[in-house]
Every structure is written in structure tokens, then in C-alpha cells.
Structure 1
């Protein structure tokens, strides 16, 4: 299944409380369970005024559907071409 990076512009994202982040996660989980398609939220990173999410889904359209139904922005959705880490150097 394709993996996507989603860039969400949320002013003050880095100032969201643990409770607010928990609410966002709960809403995301709720929407994922109702999509009726294979979908997996892998992780998200909060940095400055953005949240960067890594999700697996059949298409970018499904990613945008998830965002719309959850009430989250999805300012940029990019399919990953490859994944590397320190071990990639051999």
C-alpha cells in the first residue's frame, strides 16, 4: 500500500496541549475506522505551525477524504518514493 507524508498547516501546533493532541488523535482514529478501506496512520510529528503525518492508504484521494471527514487540513499530500536510514549506506 502506498505511504504518504501529509503536511498540515495548523498555526500554533507546537503549543497544543497533550489533551488537545489526544483529541486530534481520537478524531483521526474514529475517522479511520469508518473509512471502510485499508488505512493506517503510522505516526505524526508536531513542529512549529505544522503537523507532519505519515499514513498508508490506497490513494491520495483517500488521504484527503480522511482529512475532510476529520476536519483537519491536508495542505500537501506527497507519496513517498523511497525510505532510507543510516543502514542504507551499507
Structure 2
């Protein structure tokens, strides 16, 4: 299944408390359980004003639906075309 990177513009994201991040994570997991096994959240990276999420999903629409159910933005959704790392140079 395709992998996607979602960019969410959330002013002050880097100042969210551990409890706020936990609550958001729990809410996301509940929405994903209701959506079914076709969409999976792998991890997210929190920066000052954005959160970058990595999902496995059959398509962009499932990610849009998840964002709408959560009430959070999915400002950019990009499908991963390749993964590279230092071993790629070998």
C-alpha cells in the first residue's frame, strides 16, 4: 500500500504539552480504528508550527477523511515515491 507524508500547519505545535500530544494521539487512534485497517498511522514529527505525519493508506481521500474526522488540517498530502538513506550510496 502507498505511503504518504502529511504536512499539518498547526501554529504552536512545538509548544504542545505531553498530555495534549497524548490526547491527540488517542483521538487519532480511535478515528483510525473506526475507519478500518486500510489506513495506518506510522509516526509523526512535531516542529515549531507543523506536524509531519507518515501514513500508509490506499489513497489520499482516506487521509482527508481522517483529518476531517479529527478536525485537524492536512495542508499537504504527498505520496512517497522512494525511500533513501546512507546505504543508498553504497
TM bracket, shorter-chain basis = over 0.9
State the match for 1:11 in structure 2.
Answer: 11
CA root-mean-square deviation:
0.8
TM-score, L = length of structure 2: 0.97
For structure 2, the 5+ residue unaligned runs are: none
Can you give the 5+ residue segments of structure 1 that lack an aligned partner in the other structure?
none
In structure 1, what is the equivalent of residue 21 of structure 2? 21
Q: Structure 2 CA distance, aligned partners of 1:61 and 1:83?
A: 22
Superposition pairs for residues 1-90 of structure 1, below 5 Å?
1-90=1-90
d(CA) in 2 for partners of 1:71, 1:37: 21
Structure 1 residue 62, shift from structure 2 partner: 0.3
Q: Give aligned pairs, total.
A: 90
Q: Give me the TM-score of the superposition, normalised by structure 1.
A: 0.97
Aligned mates of 1:68, 1:16 — CA distance in 2: 21
Deviation at 1:36, TM superposition (A): 2.5
